[in-house]
Amino acid sequence: MLAKTISIGQLAARTGLAVSAIRYYETQGLVCPERNAGGQRRFLRSDIRRLSFVQIAQQFGFSIGQIRETFEALPDGRTPTKADWTKISRSFREELDERIETLTNLRDKLDGCIGCGCLSLRSCALYNQQDRAGKLGTGPRYLLGDTP
């Protein structure tokens, strides 16, 4: 029979994370180990799944804060169930779709005017007549999705 809890070393081996990374995630509230009588951290086996999710979410560009909020929304801080994962993935998918659309737009407009308001290229007189981009705010307005 498998033990209910595992050591930080076992968790590191199962997740591929350094022990220091696991301790960091603990300080961020992403895992909450118990302590045994000797003061050693003891993690639930389900923390393997939690930390695996953290790694995947970070690869997709989600911040520790966003991941923490996702976990905090779960009742009693429990590990997500299959239904929870479905709901979480749906919300992450929406954000990823928005990012993909933004990146596609950026890629498609990259070789044209970025709408920075510099008016230093000949084509700026066509794309940014009378510095319309400057009226939208500072920075690369067109690539940020603003339109004149």
**Domain residue ranges of the chain, discontinuous segments joined by +:** 5-111, 112-148
Q: Using an 8 Å Cβ cutoff, are 8 and 14 in contact?
A: no
Q: Looking at residue 84, what is its pLDDT?
A: 86
Q: Looking at residue 89, what is its pLDDT?
A: 87
Q: In sequence order, what are the residues at sequence separation of 6 or more whose Cβ sits closer than 8 angstroms to the Cβ of residue 142?
A: 109, 112, 113, 114, 115, 127, 133, 148
**Strands 41-44 and 5-6: what pairing?**
antiparallel
Q: What is the CATH number of domain 5-111?
A: 1.10.1660.10
Q: Looking at residue 59, what is its pLDDT?
A: 92
CA distance linking residue 116 with residue 142, whole number of Å? 8
CA distance linking residue 16 with residue 18, whole number of Å? 7
For the chain, 148 residues long, give each residue's pLDDT as a single digit of tens.
677 899 999 999 999 999 999 999 999 999 999 998 898 999 999 899 899 999 999 999 999 999 999 888 888 777 788 888 888 888 889 999 999 998 887 787 766 666 666 666 666 766 677 777 777 777 776 666 666 5
Instruction: Tell me the whole-structure pTM to 2 decimals.
Output: 0.70
Residue 68's SS3 state is helix
